[in-house]
């Protein structure tokens, strides 16, 4: 499988996982309820959440594949900036999805809980 195709496949799997996530489903379901939020603002919020969830699914997908990884390794696998990965790690740790799993080359390793 070519590298480009593999990356697309990984992103598709992450997007499918994102659409299965409770957060995105909940916010998309809100579209049927009369809201006090302007439609444009709501759409922007859904876009941002969808974007976040896909990136988080890419991270959890990489951790599923390789048990424990550092931010640098995650960045290589997912093509995301380390700063973006750190932000998602904070959220994923807070939600109890991932946890620290020791150190490697003076960097924290992370694994799925």
**Does the footprint of other proteins cover residue 20 (CB under 8 A)?**
yes
Query: SS3 for 37?
Result: coil
Name the residue with tokens 């490697």.
Answer: 104
**Does the footprint of other proteins cover residue 62 (CB under 8 A)?**
no
**Does the footprint of other proteins cover residue 32 (CB under 8 A)?**
yes
**Does the footprint of other proteins cover residue 28 (CB under 8 A)?**
yes
Strand partners, 3: none
Q: Is the dihedral of CA 50, 52, 53, 54 positive or negative?
A: positive
59 with 85: CB under 8 angstroms? yes
**Does the footprint of other proteins cover residue 50 (CB under 8 A)?**
yes
Residue range at the interface with other proteins (CB under 8 A); choices 8-16, 68-76, 85-93, 98-106: 8-16
CA distance 63 to 94: 17
In the complex, the smallest distance separating the C-beta of residue 8 from other proteins, rounded to whole angstroms, is 5
Which residues contribute to the site for other proteins (CB under 8 A)? Answer: 4-5, 8-9, 11-13, 15-16, 18-20, 28, 31-32, 43, 46-47, 50-51, 54
């Amino acid at each position: 499988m070519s590298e480009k195709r593999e990356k697309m496949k990984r992103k598709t799997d992450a997007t499918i996982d994102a659409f299965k996530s409770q957060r995105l489903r909940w916010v998309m379901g809100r579209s049927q309820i009369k809201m006090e939020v302007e439609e444009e603002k709501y759409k922007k919020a859904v876009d941002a959440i969808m974007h976040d969830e896909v990136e988080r699914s890419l991270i959890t997908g990489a951790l599923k594949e390789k048990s424990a990884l550092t931010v640098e390794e995650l960045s290589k696998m997912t093509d995301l900036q380390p700063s973006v990965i750190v932000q998602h790690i904070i959220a994923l740790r807070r939600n109890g999805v991932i946890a620290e799993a020791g150190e490697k080359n003076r960097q924290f390793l992370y694994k799925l809980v």
